[in-house]
Structure 1
Amino acid sequence: MLKHVMKNPHKVLPQLLAAAIGSWGFFCTGLVRGWSSPGIPSLNATKNFEIESSDIAWIASVPPLCALIGALLATYPLQHFGRRRTLIGLSIPFFIGFLLMGLTYFGRHKAMLYVGRVITGLVNGALTPASQIYISECSSPHIRGVLSSLTASALALGILTPYIIGAFVDWWTLALTLIIFPVMLLVGMIFMPETPIWLMANKREDEARRALQRLRGKRTDIDAEFVRIKENQEKNDKKEHKIQPRELLKGSVLKPLSISMGIMFFQQFTGINAMVFYTVNIFKSAGSSIDGRYATIIVGVVQLIATAFSGFFVDRYGRRILLLGSASIVSCSLAAMGSFFYMQDQWGPELATEKLGWLPLLSLIVFFIAFSGGYANVPFILMGEMFPARYRSILGPLSSSFNLCCTFIVVRSFPTMQITIGKYGAFWFFMSCTLAGIVFVYFLLPETKGKTLEDIEKIFSAKYDAAGVLKTAEMQADNSLEVKITPSALSDDIETNKPNDGNLRHQKSKNSGSVALENGNQIATFSLKPITDSEEEDDGSLVAAPL
């Protein structure tokens, strides 16, 4: 990323600014999640305020439950109002939600607290896909991974902020303090452009060109990229204007959606949000000598630093390696955490704390470092990358809502799990899920590093393998070979020339024995036949005539 900034600052900095402001939506999401850890113990300690133990679990878990609905509701404004205006509009109810939570202390009605949590939860669900799609559609392919990973850093910073403030103030003061941040999102997005892809999809071609020029810098030649965006939209326009439900059942749509949902499932069932929502309580249960509030801040700082650094590796090492490495270390941390609580059951709390009192904090620090290195940002990057442009406004909220559904299940069930299968059983359950996630990623997730959004769409076409290279070919009755060729299948060791007869002549690669056709940026179907001796010397060349 730094190399690109130093080499082309005029091209990268506008995109970096758009991504930074767009990722503020994830920062606000982090505020809602982070409020619970210091807020709930403070709420319990408040005098003359009726709150029951059953309320605590619901106050913690209501936002992800409502976010599930919010993510589904985000589809309409994302399609019809655009990514930018959706983010602007969402900042207003977010402000209202935190305001109601803070005023609950004066009104003394816990219903106000519930309403505030419901509103912030609904907004959270819509903010996640809106922010991720905005950043993905504003970014160049070679830095899209780094810029998209800003969302994870913003989320970590959003979680850390109430950790720090909540260590010194009451729950209601914390809520009132946090209302400033959605205002910052509103003001920032007012000065940002809409995404060129959404503008092009809505027949605003001139505005799309201006937005693309602004995002790439005034001195950057955007003609090639603009033509690519336009051609891709024209291809989408040839299909039915209104998306039909049956279209969502196509393999090219179901494959990326299923993979995205699978990764979202395994992300949440690492137990990440059980750790985030109940950090203070976990440290109290472990009998740690460190004050739970300050241990939580330590963990939050470590998570933020690790997440920030991980963004620089996304486009260097790819999505698959980061996810596999992240999950491997996370599973070890969960195993260690579960082992501590098992020893606590076997030896008794005092002896376990005396011998292994350092293990809970160390395990959580390693857990958050490892999680931040891959699972924190890659699932959301993939959500913005893998979905076809035509369906992105629908599939993004669907995947996000599924993520939030898993979040609700984990957060709501974690206290019950600790009672039914023990604290160690809960952590070992999450460890088992994380190990299963390694298998899922290894066998099913294709690499998307460095690919354009258009090329990523081709990965999920039945004719192409995970690298976007030709996978299948059909031998016809006349012994000709019918194939579909994409430019990404071309390799450097293939020689190409274009004769004047309108055909495309190609020579077989001696290294791979593959055949490739060049056809600009379009997928084309050709019939391939060997060149006869009368046409050209028998050198293994082929003549390709468009069908």
Structure 2
Amino acid sequence: MANKYFLRQSFIAFGFITHGFCAGMAIVFISSLNLALLSPDATEIRATPDQTSWLASCNTITGLIGYFTIPPIMQKYGRRVINIGTAVIYSIGWLIYIFANNILTLFIARLVHGICLGAIYINCVIASEYSDPKRRGYLVAIKKMFSLIGAFSCHALVLCWTWRQIAIFAIFPNLLIIINGFYWPESPSYLAMVGRFEECKYSFYWLHGKSVEKQNELKILMAAQTERILKHNRNNCTSPIELLYAFRDKVFLKASLVMSVLIFAVDVSGRLYLFTYVIQIMRELVTDEAIAGYCTLIVDLFTITGSIISVFVIHKLKRRTALLFSGILTAILMLSTSLLIFLKEQYKIQSSLTWIILSIVMLQNFVSYIGFIPVTYNIAGEIFPLEYKGIGSSVTGISYMLFYFVTMKFTPFIIDGTGLQGMYLIYGICLLLCILVLYFILLETKDKTLQDIEDEIKGVKRSAIEMKPMLDGTVKLIA
């Protein structure tokens, strides 16, 4: 029989996992919408190719706004507010889609959904703070898996529903998130960070119980945040000064470097460009339009299968091992693809080599989703110290938007200028260089508490003797 603390954490997990599903639907909905807008049989709203391209990319504008505003709100008002708030914003966007009667209204809906891009990595923070260290890895992996299922569901619903009907359906999971969120306790990590220690105790014990191990974990969390609060009070820090301290703190800079390299590595491994330009890539490899379409569906299924397997891989293997191994294997497959395409073009080899190349491309996507991509989302919620969760999420988001723009904007030009073999060669080399850097700077986080990870980054070792004066300070702060 499952213990009640596992059930409680699973109840919380339902909220952020469903959030992943909703995010997946929102991101790929534009492909269903553009298909209808460009159709010669469209009876409602019509658009030009130029308008649809702007419609697809305009969410990055409000995405940047979201990355600058949502993390500070999370740090000031807590995690529950953000979880419920983003679901409300998604629902508003879907309602605008439902009642849209012109292209301008569709732009507004897309811009509203763009705000929630700022919650993509914050959702990983929420998942990490509410989960037991031994469950954190696979719960975040399940969240990522459901974002892919959300995307696949949106694609599948196009076969039988209109885009308005899809928008109506998409509201209901968000309503479940809102209802679920009202029954959450606030995150113990957040409550400790703002000095609400009695509430922190209640929330922590509700989630994790009162075993000796958990009581020690709570003491370390409270002691560390007491130390930070006392230091903050002594220095009389204001928000601009805190921001300056963050960018002068080597701990924050190291965590930012790790996340920036990870995000760039994930982007060049194919998370974005293969997902978006998969049809174009398939058409380059096989001239038959129908075969290219079937290959695209197979790539989607490989992606989902890989994400399902990743739940077990992340639960069993160490983060560094899974990330470095799958990253290296992905790079090797990309370079192999480049070489085989070159040989095919150089020596005019057709059918047999084409199917080998297709198989390697599918295997590459499968391997990256088994370890490399889901582990990155795990680390995104673990790597930043608690005091820097807000600004760290903003920096991560800016890196995400920057690399998103670079890979999405220049991939078609690279394909046109160098061919597929050139694209895979460039991105494969970039991925290998990122893996080399990560080998030296990435620490292991599996089964460690968030406070243990923070202390390891800071180079702090806490003993019972060292903790006593800090715990005395905690008692005074509570009083």
SS in structure 2 opposite 1:128?
Answer: helix
Any residues of structure 2 matched to 1:67-86 within 5 Å, and which?
A: 67-86=63-82
- Residue 263 of structure 1 and its aligned partner are, at CA, apart by 1.0
Contact in 2 for aligned 1:91/1:185 (Cα 8 Å): yes
- Structure 2 residue corresponding to 1:19, chosen from 6, 13, 17: 13
CA separation of 1:60 and 1:400: change in aligned 2, threshold 3 A: same
Q: 1:532 corresponds to which residue?
A: none
CA separation of 1:346 and 1:184: change in aligned 2, threshold 3 A: farther
Any residues of structure 2 matched to 1:70-469 within 5 Å, and which?
A: 70-104=66-100, 107=101, 109-125=102-118, 127-217=119-209, 222-240=214-232, 242-243=238-239, 244-248=242-246, 249-286=248-285, 287-288=287-288, 290=290, 294-339=294-339, 342=342, 352=350, 354-359=351-356, 361-461=358-458, 464=459
Q: 2:474 corresponds to which residue?
A: none
- Tell me the alpha carbon deviations over residues 142-169 of structure 1, each in whole angstroms, 9 at most, x when there is no partner: 3322223233222222222212223444
Indicate the larger mover: 186-195 or 437-446.
186-195
- Residue 340 of structure 1 and its aligned partner are, at CA, apart by 6.1
Distance 1:327 1:414 in 2: 20
Distance 2:169 2:149 in 1: 15
Letter in 2 for 1:245: L
- Residue 399 of structure 1 and its aligned partner are, at CA, apart by 1.0
Distance 1:344 1:37 in 2: 32
Distance 1:185 1:418 in 2: 41
CA separation of 1:218 and 1:226: change in aligned 2, threshold 3 A: closer
Distance 2:28 2:395 in 1: 24
Q: 1:472 corresponds to which residue?
A: none
Letter in 2 for 1:117: R
- Residue 39 of structure 1 and its aligned partner are, at CA, apart by 4.5
Please state if 1:62 is matched with 2:55: no
TM-score by length of 1: 0.76
SS in structure 2 opposite 1:45?
Answer: coil
Distance 1:172 1:416 in 2: 34
Distance 1:342 1:61 in 2: 32
CA separation of 1:52 and 1:260: change in aligned 2, threshold 3 A: same
Letter in 1 for 2:369: S
CA RMSD of aligned residues (A): 3.0
TM-score by length of 2: 0.85
Distance 1:124 1:59 in 2: 15
Distance 2:108 2:337 in 1: 35
Identity across matched positions, percent: 22
CA separation of 1:440 and 1:168: change in aligned 2, threshold 3 A: farther
Any residues of structure 2 matched to 1:512-531 within 5 Å, and which?
A: 519=465, 521=467
Distance 1:118 1:337 in 2: 37
SS in structure 1 opposite 2:465?
Answer: coil
- Residue 288 of structure 1 and its aligned partner are, at CA, apart by 4.9
Contact in 2 for aligned 1:60/1:277 (Cα 8 Å): no
- Residue 112 of structure 1 and its aligned partner are, at CA, apart by 2.4
Q: 1:500 corresponds to which residue?
A: none
- Residue 84 of structure 1 and its aligned partner are, at CA, apart by 1.0
- Residue 395 of structure 1 and its aligned partner are, at CA, apart by 0.8
CA separation of 1:219 and 1:441: change in aligned 2, threshold 3 A: closer
Give the structure with the larger strand fraction: 1
Relative contact order higher in (CA < 8 Å, ≥ 6 apart): 2
Larger-Rg structure: 1
Distance 1:278 1:124 in 2: 21
Distance 2:104 2:60 in 1: 18
Contact in 2 for aligned 1:94/1:123 (Cα 8 Å): yes
